[in-house]
Amino acid sequence: MSQQVAVGTLFVHGVGDDYLVAVSNDGERSLSARLTLGATDAGPRPAKFARRHESGEEPLRPDRFVELARRADRIRISQQTGRSQRERIERMLDGYQLDAKTVRTCRYCASAGRYSPVTSETAIEADGEQICPDCARRELDAELAHHDVSSTAADRLQELLLDVQDLERVKNLLSGQLDPDLTKFDEMSATTEAVDPVPVGSLGLHPGMQSLLDDRFESLLPVQSLAVQNGALDGDDQLVVSATATGKTLIGEMAGLDRLLNGEGKMLFLVPLVALANQKYEDFRDEYGHLANVTIRVGASRVRDDGERFDPDADIVVGTYEGIDHALRVGQDLGDIGTVVIDEVHTLEDDDRGHRLDGLIARLKGYCENRNGNAGGNGTNAGTQWLYLSATVGNPGWLATKLRANLVEFEERPVPIERHVTFADGQEKARVANKLVRREFDRKSSQGYRGQTIIFTNSRRRCHQLARKLEYDAAAYHAGLDYSRRKSVERQFANQDLAAVVTTAALAAGVDFPASQVLFDSLAMGIEWLTVQEFHQMLGRAGRPDYHDRGVVYVLVEPDGSYHSSMPGSEDETAFRLLKGEMEPVAMRYDETSAVEEVLANVTVAGGGAKALTERMVGDVPMKHAVGKLLDYDFIDGLSPTPLGRAVTRHFLEPEAAFTMLDGIRKGKDPYDTVAEIELRDEES
């Protein structure tokens, strides 16, 4: 060992009967050695001193230790050194007139011959002692390796480690421990935008509607006031974007009922899902049934359980997008339409269903214009007002322009929402969900309501499995349940007889369950990860201003989990992408199949006017290419549908499905085999 080795700090740590010695300068270790003391008449003195290598130890003269100690800027003794050992090394140093200070250090480092002092600001609790951040990170990395978490999740846990300075608490998160201080990712604060409230008495609505509102409210909510101030009751078309539970629906109801009662045409209220249509139908019939006839149109030809059929002459038509689109495709007369409300208009972004909503809007506008005989308004038509509602649109200005509507945007969150992330594998998720449901239901808000939970999962079967595993009363809720069962679940939840509902996407679009807590048992719907927009739409169900003081969202993440081999990334990566992500812009994308379907529907509805309908759609539809394909498929003759084309469009069939059916019929195949072939192709695609 050279005499010229720089010595900044000489560090001593007792191990057994010996001492580990580390010499460092400017943070870099220059020597690691082992020291053995021997007893002499003068007291303890160096007896053995050996430099440590990976391959073993190199003996040095014992007095080398004394030379190093005399040249050191400072001598530090580990606090973890036993009392008797510490006293021996101190007596030895005193014998050479050398001063040393006992300091708190990282035991892991000291045991490895490294000098790593810790302070209250840097120390990490681990197994009842304090270690340095570097060692704590190494210990956490070793634990993470057993769980296969993504680098994104690992980074999050490393951040938590430095924040809370407790290794065991952070490691416990990987086994589903619900430490709220650690699981909390962030809080979406309650926000209130200053809007001058519009007094209900000043609205000047038809007396029937005015008296109804006078009995319910003194003034409108902020987003309702904004809409009225911007022409909602003057016939102006609007895109209204505001968070869940801020009162958007009433804007459409006020405008539609007022126009209806003043003889300006019926109201269509359109939603994406059957479950939502059923609930809106019940609500409208209860609230407005004494003023108007209410009917419902879902699917191709839905017959309600009580035997009532769709009545196209009704004053208020609640329908799904596909239900009203089918009426147009088969040429049904919908009468004079004064107001069209398109709820959940962000469905335009949906890869599977967005093109159908886009086509429906264009076809319905064409119908209304032909019925009224002239165009006007916001560039649409003089006789029909269009109101588009959504809680989540990434590019509202662009969409409003494409829809030719005024934008009414209100950024308010009625109650704060806490967002939490906890890790649990597939088996643990039910246990974690059960604990969270119990904890929430045992609480009451300042308004006296128990906390209730919506749990989103990715299959109907999982809905039932998870609901059965919860200790408190819970129910599955999805589109596969019959109408009466869904209504029963809705009533039970409203009466606070259920602690939780477990659902698929059926509730994401706004069915009215006033829940205080939302759990994500899965971040996939089917075999596709959620988009940021879908995620925000679903978590927005947590917390209602008239019921709860705050909303709570828990994302239950399976490290390295996925639901299909085709899914990119893992569930933990997806969780942090969704939590940190920006809302995706609505951007209509047309592949060949969706373009062919919409152009065929436009041809069926409008004949030679199909080009005008297609040009007014939000997305850019390759009309010329689609027409060429339709001619090749024998779906159209000129710009008229063939009998085959008419059948395809009436049943919302994709060309491949139609040809599979035709092939099966011609070859005399069993219909079930044909259906299975179509289903298998859809899954593979």
Q: Phi then psi for 256, rounded to 5 degrees?
A: -65, -45
Q: Is the pLDDT of residue 408 over 80?
A: yes
The count of C-alpha atoms lying within 13 angstroms of the C-alpha of 251, restricted to the half-sphere facing its C-beta, is 37
* pLDDT the model gives residue 6: 64
Task: With CA atoms as reference, report the closest residue to 469 among 483, 455, 449.
Answer: 455
| CA–CA distance, 361 with 365 (Å, rounded to integer) | 6
Given a contact cutoff of 8 angstroms between Cβ atoms, the answer to whether 62 and 46 are in contact is yes
Confidence band of 509 (pLDDT split at 50, 70, 90): low
Q: What is the dihedral of CA 245, 249, 255, 261, to 10 degrees?
A: -120
Determine the 3-state secondary structure of 419 from DSSP. strand
The tens digit of pLDDT for each residue in 361-373 reads 999 999 999 887 6
Residues 6+ apart with CB under 8 A from 113: 13, 20, 21, 22, 29, 32, 33, 52
Share of the chain above pLDDT 90, in %: 53
Amino acid letter, residue 587: A
pLDDT at 84: 93
Whether residue 540 is predicted with pLDDT greater than 90 in this model: the reply is no
The H or E element that residue 662 is part of is helix 655-666
pLDDT surpasses 90 at 506: no
Most confident of 144-153, 171-180, 224-233: 224-233
The pLDDT, as a whole number, for residue 127 is 81
Residue matched to tokens 């609930």:
279
- How do strand 18-25 and strand 9-15 relate by DSSP bridges? antiparallel
**What dihedral angle (degrees, nearest 10) is formed by the CA atoms of 442, 445, 449, 453?**
-60
Mean pLDDT of the chain: 87
- pLDDT for 102-158, tens place per residue? 988 887 887 777 778 888 888 888 887 888 888 889 888 888 888 777 787 888 888
Bridge partners of 306? none
The 10s digit of each residue's pLDDT in 477-499 is 987 888 889 889 999 999 999 99
- Any idea which of 357-361, 504-508, 566-570 has the lowest mean pLDDT? 504-508
**Burial class of residue 364, CB neighbours in 10 A (0-12, 13-18, 19+):** buried
pLDDT at 523: 92
CB atoms within 10 A of CB 513: 21
248-262, 376-390, 436-450: least confidently modelled range:
376-390
Over range 201-206, report the average pLDDT: 93
DSSP type of residue 521:
S
Q: State residue 79's pLDDT score.
A: 85
Residue 379 pLDDT: 40
pLDDT at residue 2 greater than cutoff 60: no
pLDDT at residue number 304? 42
User: Looking at 31-40, 199-208, 403-412, 582-591, which range is the least confident one?
Assistant: 582-591
Crossing angle between the packed helical segments 274-288 and 483-494, to the nearest 10 degrees:
60
Residue 503 burial (C-beta neighbours within 10 Å; 0-12, 13-18, 19+) = buried
Q: What is the DSSP string of 44-67?
A: EEEEEEEEEETTEEEEE-THHHHH
Mean pLDDT is lowest, of 173-177, 265-269, 338-342, 417-421, for 173-177
| Structure tokens given for 298 | 């879902």
Torsion sign over Cα 225, 231, 234, 236: negative
How far is CA 22 from its chain centroid?
51
State how far the Cα of 634 lies from the Cα of 655, in Å rounded to an integer.
11
pLDDT at 306: 43
Q: How many residues does the chain have?
A: 685
- pLDDT tier at 508, thresholds 50, 70, 90: low
Q: What is the residue type of 426? A: G
Q: Does residue 77 have a pLDDT over 70?
A: yes
- Residue 303 pLDDT > 70, yes or no? no
- Give the amino acid at 649: T
Report which DSSP code applies to 492: H
| Domains of the chain in sequence order | 7-112 (3.30.420), 124-174 (no CATH), 200-373+382-410 (3.40.50.300), 417-580 (3.40.50.300), 592-683 (no CATH)
Amino acid at 589: R
